[in-house]
A and B are shown apart, each in its own frame.
Chain A
Amino acid sequence: MSEEVNSLSASTTLERPKRWDSAFDPDLVEKDFETIMSRKEITEIDASFPPSLPLDGIVRNDMRLTRLERGDIMVREGDYGNSAFILIEGKVHIATNPQISVEQLGGSSAKVQSIFSRIQGLLKKNWVPEVRMIANNKQLSQTSSERPAGTSIPNIDNVMETHEMITLGEGEVFGELAALGRTPRTATIFASTDVVAIEIRWQGLRDIMKYDTGWRKRIDKNYRETALANHLSNTEILKDLSKEAAEHVSQGALFETYGAFDWHHDFKNKKSAAAEVIIAKEGDYPDGLLLIRAGFARLAKGSDYERRTISYLGAGDTFGLNELYSAWKNPGQKDFQLSNSLTALGYVDIIRIPVEVLEEHVFPNMPEPEDLSSALDERTAADDHLMEWAVDNRFINGSQTMVIDLDRCNRCDDCVRACGNTHGGNPRFRREGDPFEKWMVANACMHCKDPVCMIGCPTGAINRDQYSGSVIINDTTCIGCATCANSCPFENINMVSIRNLEGSIITDGSGNGTPIMKATKCDLCAGRPGGPACVQACPKDALQRVDFRDFHAQARL
């Protein structure tokens, strides 16, 4: 009997999975591990790490040695990277003037289609979808001895001569602000010699900063000196502060992150049941103003099954202002509490300004904030239902979400046909989705504010258009790895096999018939005058591209 119990317990228990179940570099060799451990950046760490999170564990699982050849791109401007670098051998350069073009980095900019090419497309109807001209589609690697486009700077000698540069040498740390803040990389950094660098993924960086004061001070100082002042000056309540007061706020600010960087994996599996980390709880004492620097957070009232989503906060929004201001204005009054809760919808990067700093440097010089609590209290569950749906499904992430008014849509599919006509016969979206009341969000790229699809693209083929801000794919540099398609939590990126003019599938020439794949998605008809063809083609004005913050107000009219 006891044997049965033992065997049962053996077969039904499992060691709880940890984040280290998946190392940054699963093939990290012992020699590389020892190289990293012997670096002064690691040996100088003087902190006591918990037994469950030892420093050598962080090094082994969250770091790797990256070796690059001269000209290789380490950090690409506009990319969403999830790691930082410490240079240990060689030199890297940042081109400051002029900056390196999008095309040199593997991306592309939307070009306005000429009238001639549009007439040509109209006359030359091609019923074979996803046709590519093989000659135009060859990458540099296939046409010369250079490395694949997007992975290295072409003609490095010329670039070094014609651009003004900043040089970074041994011991320099870079890429940490974008990695921790989940913001786009602000510069392109490339190897100007052969380079060896320690690459640290954001989880490891966060943990070391948590326990080691030296690393925390160094990265915080870097952030305070480079990006914080700019962020604070763009925040509504802080933008009019005097230089001196702004300096005090900047020095007093604390940096916090919540949630998981790779939230999209959890969301893809669990949808609305995905975990949400609590940032601030309704009823708690407010001890600082929270400024959202990146990511999204749910603003909710009530708890458990009665929790109602009031709104969501994104970059530039604040939390707790009314409560803190009221506490400062009425010092005799007791029991100040937060009137709402804030939870992380994925990854949220926050700047906390302590209450003492606010009371001394901010509140005396600002007008009383508008109190919206009474208006919020009057709202019914029906008022908040649409917002709840949008937040649960993370549609709020979209800047150009395709919403269809089903009461008006006559299901003619003119939108799908128009999309197909402007994209070589293959539509870039599906008129499908779960409806809510009379609204349906169709399966079309939403051009997210937090575009997780851009994380990990090896060639930079998926990038933000520098003019419109929409997320587009450079078909030539896309290698068909499907990283973006697998990352998109909304399944709005499709992998397609490409064909020649005769309709035959183009293969890689390896002899086993493996097709060349390309990632495709809605590009908002980049280059088409008049904007997205789907919106223009709807005879009933049923289809819109919206930002949910504006849409919610419009839908509830």
Chain B
Amino acid sequence: MNEQARKKRIIFIAMFFLLALLGAWWWIQQQSLELVDTVWTSGWVLLASIFLPSIFNLRKRLAAFNVGKASTWYAIHVVSGFAAIFFYILHAGFKIPTGAYEILLFTLFALVSVTGIVGYVVQAILPRRMTETGEEIVYEKIPEEIYEIRNSAKSAMLAYTESSGSNLLSKHYDSALRWFFEQPRFYINHVLGGAKAPAWVRSQFEAIRRFASPDSMEHVDEIERLALHKLNVDTHFACQDVMKRWLLVHLPLAVAFLVTVVWHIILVHVYAS
């Protein structure tokens, strides 16, 4: 899709919700001026702004139907999610609740909101970090990829040992590189975009090159190439893992929150009547 058209669509959705938000706020303010209890109005508006984000998940199950682009639904999800924070404050006020059930509601809402914002930020940052590796690896294929890298590294290490007659590389492999090639490493560092992982690899190979046989340097080059490739795989693993796990936190919390909201509405109506 044309980038400009995409931005226009997102801005249109954002503006629409901003206007709705302002309208709802104005309505509540008017009721307040008329000495009407605004908690009912703000409650229903809050429910609407909670309901809208929750239907985004429904969209994924309707692939066979033409129910609009998922990106439109996602934009509504994000904008109405942010609006829900505003309406929550309007509904409950700036205070920490005291009742057990209210504390549960508040905690779940806070967690859903925080994980939602974290997810939004993560999805804006981590894809670029993966693109910068210059490689693309499907998450499910990462274990297979690491297995192949490890086997190739072992073969190159053995080839070095055979051609040079020295155990320098094999000892270093056992003491340091085996750990690196075993599984994804430097998880947090890759997520945060730090330079620790490439610095570690660089230092390992500087140490090896200082003592390695010049005639067998091609095998060292090969292991270093594999290590650099492994860094890219690790970056993909860390970033994709965070993006998948984040959803596993956000989604159950959102479901739990919706359940408590439904019970809250039932309780309020039972006691109000």
Q: Please report A residues at the B interface, Cβ cutoff 8 Å.
A: 113, 118, 121-122, 406-412, 414, 417-418, 421-422, 431-435, 438, 440, 528-530, 533, 535-541, 544, 554, 557
Q: Measured between alpha carbons, how far is A414 from B6 in the docked complex, in Å?
A: 19
* Residue B62 lies at the interface, judged by CB distance under 8 Å to chain A: yes
Taking a contact as CB atoms closer than 8 A, the residue among B127, B134, B136 that contacts A432 in the complex is B136
- Would A407 and B127 count as touching, CB distance under 8 A? yes
Establish whether residues A411 and B139, one from each chain, have CB atoms under 8 Å apart when the complex forms.
yes
Whether B71 and A540, one on each chain, are in contact in the complex, defined by CB atoms closer than 8 angstroms, is: yes
Q: Which residue of B lies closest to A437 (CB)?
A: B131
- Asked whether A406 and B131 contact (CB < 8 A) given A432-B138, A554-B2, the answer is yes
Decide: B64 and A121 in contact? CB cutoff 8 A: yes
Other-chain contact of B131, A407, A414, A417 (Cβ < 8 Å): A407
A122 to B58, CA, bound (A): 12
12 contacts between A and B (CB under 8 A): A406-B130, A414-B60, A414-B70, A433-B136, A435-B135, A529-B66, A530-B66, A536-B68, A536-B69, A539-B71, A540-B71, A541-B69
Q: Convert B71-103 into 0s and 1s, putting 1 for each residue whose CB lies closer than 8 angstroms to a CB of A.
A: 101100000000000000000000000000000
Q: In whole Å, how far is A469's beta carbon from the nearest beta carbon of chain B?
A: 21
- Given A410-B127, A411-B127, A440-B136, also A528-B66 (CB < 8 A): yes
A41 to B134, CA, bound (A): 59
Residues of A within 8 Å of B74, CB to CB, are 539-540
A118-B64 CB under 8 A given contacts A541-B1, A541-B71 = yes
Residues of A within 8 A of B63 (CB): 417-418, 421-422, 533, 536-537
Name the A residues within 8 Å of B6 (CB-CB).
Answer: 541
Bound state CA distance, A538 and B71, in angstroms?
6
* Chain A CB within 10 Å, residue with most, of B68, B74, B126: B74
Q: How far is the CB of A408 from chain B (nearest CB, A)?
A: 6
Apart from A407-B131, A528-B66, 13 more pairs, CB < 8 Å: A113-B64, A411-B127, A417-B63, A431-B138, A528-B64, A529-B66, A530-B66, A535-B69, A538-B70, A540-B74, A540-B123, A541-B1, A541-B69
When C-beta atoms are compared, the residue in chain A nearest to B141 turns out to be A432
Residue of A nearest to B136 (CB): A435
Distance between B143 CB and nearest chain A CB, rounded to angstroms? 16
Q: Which residues of B contact A (CB under 8 A)?
A: 1-3, 6, 56, 60-66, 68-71, 73-74, 123, 126-128, 130-131, 134-136, 138-139, 240, 243, 247
User: What is the bound-complex CA distance between A407 and B131, given in angstroms?
Assistant: 6
Cβ-defined contact, A422 with B64, below 8 A? yes
A255 to B74, CA, bound (A): 54
Question: B residues within 8 A CB of A432?
Answer: 136, 138
Residues of B within 8 A of A554 (CB): 2-3
**Distance of A537 Cα from B67 Cα, bound (Å):** 10
CB of A410 within 8 A of CB of B126, answer yes
Contact partners of A530 in chain B: CB under 8 A: 66
Contacting pair A537 B127 (CB below 8 A) = no
Q: How far is A433 from B137 in the complex, measured between Cα atoms in Å? A: 9
Taking the nearest CB of chain B, how far is it from the CB of A14, in angstroms? 31
List the B residue with the shortest CB-CB distance to A554: B2
Given contacts A411-B139, A417-B60, contact A536 B127 (CB under 8 A): no
CA A537 to CA B1, docked complex, whole Å:
13
Q: A411-B130, A554-B2 are in contact. Are A536 and B138 (CB under 8 A)?
A: no
**Given the complex of chains A and B, what is the CA–CA distance between A121 and B247 in angstroms?**
27
Most B CB within 10 A of own CB, among A121, A407, A440, A557: A407
**Cβ-defined contact, B65 with A435, below 8 A:** no
Question: Shortest Cβ distance from B120 into chain A, in angstroms?
Answer: 10
Closest to A431 in B: B138
Instruction: Write out the residue numbers on chain A whose beta carbons fall within 8 Å of the beta carbon of B136.
Output: 406, 432-435, 440
- Contact among B64, B138, B243 with A410 in the assembled complex (CB-CB below 8 Å): B243
Chain A residues, CB < 8 A from B64: 113, 118, 121-122, 421-422, 528, 533
Who on chain A is nearest to B246 by CB? A410
Distance (whole angstroms) from the CB of B75 to the closest CB of chain A: 9
A537 to B135, CA, bound (A): 24
List A contacts of B3 (CB < 8 A): 554, 557
A455 to chain B, nearest CB (A): 31
Judge whether A536 and B70 touch: CB under 8 Å.
yes
Give bound CA distance, A550 to B136, whole Å. 25
Distance in angstroms from A535 CB to nearest chain B CB is: 8
Residues of B within 8 A of A412 (CB): 243, 247
Q: Which residue of B lies closest to A120 (CB)?
A: B64
A166 nearest CB across to chain B (Å): 43
List the B side residues contacting A417 at CB < 8 Å.
Answer: 60, 63
- Chain B contacts of A538 at CB under 8 A? 69-71
Closest to B7 in A: A541
Instruction: Let me know if B1 and A435 touch, CB within 8 A.
Output: no
CB distance from A541 to the nearest CB of B (A): 4
Nearest B-chain residue to A117, judged by Cβ: B64
Q: Which chain A residue lies CB-closest to B75?
A: A539
B127 touches A539 (CB 8 A): no
Cα–Cα, bound, A409→B128 (Å):
9
Complex Cα spacing A422 to B3, Å? 27
Closest 8 CB pairs of A and B: A530-B66, A539-B74, A418-B63, A421-B63, A529-B66, A406-B131, A541-B71, A118-B64
A435→B131 contact, CB < 8 A: yes
Q: How many angstroms between the C-alpha atoms of A409 and B69 in the bound complex?
A: 15
Chain B min CB distance to A339 (Å): 32
Are A537 and B138 neighbours in the complex by a CB distance under 8 Å?
no
CB pair A407 B71 closer than 8 Å: no
Q: Determine the residue in chain A with the shortest Cβ distance to B78.
A: A539
A411, A422, A438 pick with most chain B CB within 10 angstroms:
A411
**Bound-state Cα–Cα, A535 to B70, Å:** 9
> Which residue of the partner chain, among A407, A431, A539, A544, contacts B128 with CB atoms under 8 Å?
A407
